[in-house]
Amino acid sequence: MQIATMTIDEIRVGIREQKFTAQEVVKALFQRIKKVEPEIGGYITLCEEDALQQAIIVDEKIKAGEKLGKLAGVPVAVKDNICTDGIRTTCASKMLEDFIPPYDATVVKKLKAEDAIIIGKTNMDEFAMGSSNENSAFKIVKNPWDTKRVPGGSSGGSAAVVAAGMAPLSLGSDTGGSIRQPAAFCGVVGLKPTYGLVSRFGLIAFASSLDQIGPLTRTVKDCALSLEVLQGNDPMDGTSVKEVKTKSYLDGLEEGVKGYKIGIPKGFLQKGLNEEIAKAIEDSIEKFKELGAIVEEIDLPITDAELSAYYIISSAEASSNLARFDGVRYGYRTEDFQKLDELMEKTRTEAFGGEVKRRIMLGTYALSSGYYDAYYNKAQKLREKIRQQYQEIFKTYDLIITPTTPSLPFLCGEKVNDPMEMYLGDIYTININLAKLPALSMPCGFSKEGLPIGIQLIGGEYTEDKILKAAFALEEELKLSTIIPEGKEEI
Ligand code: GLN
């Protein structure tokens, strides 16, 4: 069984048709993980025994002829900021190093209800803050295409394990690009759904008005299938979609892009964009034209101002969300203290990493009464303007296309001491969260050095179906999605 390159679809069909058992899938996968993981560092926790138990249950269901869920026997890796009942959930932070949630996040419940198998929890930037995975309190993740380079972040573990053939499906979270940017750096498909389409219940919050959970997969079809399972209203999440907006994303996936109107922001080929990325995006745009799409330039400024708005809003929300980690209720507690305020101060000083502290300070500053209007309020106004701009464009256009990132995967250590440089890498992704829109990143080429390049397809609210159809059409043309890093093919 070539588990490393197998898609979700191949696994679930193979199990259903009894070509192999769920136990065989899980065993093969763990064999591979044992071989590859030491070099990559994509997992924080592995659940081999639990996974085998779950596989036995799936196999018994098959034997008994019982009805199977959509993802029966499919191994899933879950980002370590998504709560899993009885499985340690750390947010890659010393603060939650020993935290074992007593409940499953809604997305995890949904996966289990479809008979998927949870195999482990993936490494990430601490509390999902970062773009390179170097902010994990435990270990860094390496890019499977070149282990001297970063896999992107904050869902770097989730992207790397899919790219390295250590899981056919993983869950990530995306507050400003954390699914799409690592997907681009690792050459996999990653989708950030419309805000509210997928429940956030059980996702440990970074910035609640921006966070969304989404899938990372090897193919667009797998992405569509996963979204079908993950989507939907959740009474436990007050911001989850109210009316039924859920769809079957597999239906009509092959319909193509004939007649689609695609907008290309005029300034996107601007300063700072890597030339090889620009070329790959232009080639993909040509493909879309050949496939019958109408491509036009649109006015959509992509500027540093939006980046500032994102970092003010997300840090403000983070400073409030992370106030709960005080050493009193759960998580790390300092050993030596006299008074309550000392307990809190020492706990937070000892257990949060540098980037998390930076965001808390930035957010607290932006929310303080003297600066609230100058920063937070201004950022909110800009956010509303961005939202309206996109809404206007989507009255006429079906999709917007941009690169996912301005640069190729960079070297480990290259940007750790320059947070501004790191933040600039989010220029194409953060607007989408500010505007609450869906967007997908997929591989669209490789650099001369063999590093993956990602293209971003952005849609109007709840038009994941359109995005997926376009992505599928491009994937059919490019045939890049089953390629895996050289030397890592065999088990
Ligand atoms: N890189 C961005 C940040 O550091 C995005 C993070 C995310 O999407 N979780 O905030």
Q: State pLDDT tens for residues 17-71.
A: 999 999 999 999 999 999 999 999 999 999 999 999 999 999 999 999 999 999 9
Residue 378 lies in a domain: no
Q: What percent of the chain has pLDDT over 90?
A: 90
Selection from 109, 22, 19 nearest residue 73 by Cα: 22
Residue 129 lies in a domain: yes
Residue 341 lies in a domain: no
CATH label of the domain that carries residue 121: 3.90.1300.10
Residue 421 lies in a domain: no
For 149-158, the pLDDT digits (tens) are 999 999 999 9
Residue 327 lies in a domain: no
Average pLDDT, the chain: 95
Tell whether the model's pLDDT for residue 489 goes beyond 60. no
Ligand 1 pocket, residues with Cβ under 6 angstroms:
128-131, 154, 174-178, 206, 314, 426
Residue 71 lies in a domain: yes
C-alpha 373 – ligand 1 centre gap (Å): 24
374-396 as b/e: b if 16+ CB within 10 A:
ebbebbbebbeebbebbeebbee
Q: Is 447 a catalytic residue?
A: no
Nearest atom within ligand 1 for CA of residue 314: 10
Q: Is 240 a catalytic residue?
A: no
C-alpha 151 – ligand 1 centre gap (Å): 14
The residue ranges of DSSP E strands in 26-161, in sequence order, are 43-46, 75-79, 117-122
C-alpha 92 – ligand 1 centre gap (Å): 14
Q: Is 178 a catalytic residue?
A: yes
Tell whether the model's pLDDT for residue 419 goes beyond 90. no
Tell whether the model's pLDDT for residue 164 goes beyond 90. yes
Cβ-Cβ contacts under 8 Å for 302 (sequence gap 6 or more): 265, 267, 268, 270, 402, 427, 428, 431
Please state whether beta strands 189-192 and 212-217 pair in parallel, antiparallel, or not at all (unpaired). antiparallel
Domain count, the chain: 1
Q: Which H helix or E strand runs over 289?
A: helix 275-290
Tell whether the model's pLDDT for residue 487 goes beyond 70. no
Q: Which of 154, 199, 240, 481 is catalytic?
A: 154
**Alpha carbons 183 and 152: distance in angstroms, whole number:** 8
Its domain, for residue 163, covers 3-257+442-447+463-478
Q: Which residue has the higher pLDDT, 404 or 305?
A: 404
For 299-328, the pLDDT digits (tens) are 987 778 899 999 999 999 999 999 999 999
Please state whether beta strands 294-298 and 261-265 pair in parallel, antiparallel, or not at all (unpaired). parallel
pLDDT value of residue 270: 66
Residue among 126, 180, 314 whose CB has most ligand 1 atoms within 8 A, to mutate: 314
Among left, alpha and beta (phi > 0; psi -120 to 50; other), residue 389 is alpha
Q: Which residue has the higher pLDDT, 358 or 301?
A: 358
Q: What is the token pair recorded at 150?
A: 């970063």
pLDDT value of residue 163: 96
Nearest atom within ligand 1 for CA of residue 207: 9
CA-nearest residue for atom 5, ligand 1, is 176
Residue 232 lies in a domain: yes
Residue 430 lies in a domain: no
C-alpha 6 – ligand 1 centre gap (Å): 29
For 166-222, the pLDDT digits (tens) are 999 999 999 999 999 999 999 999 999 999 999 999 999 999 999 999 999 999 999
Tell whether the model's pLDDT for residue 491 goes beyond 50. no
Q: Which of 79, 192, 247, 466 is catalytic?
A: 79
pLDDT value of residue 479: 86
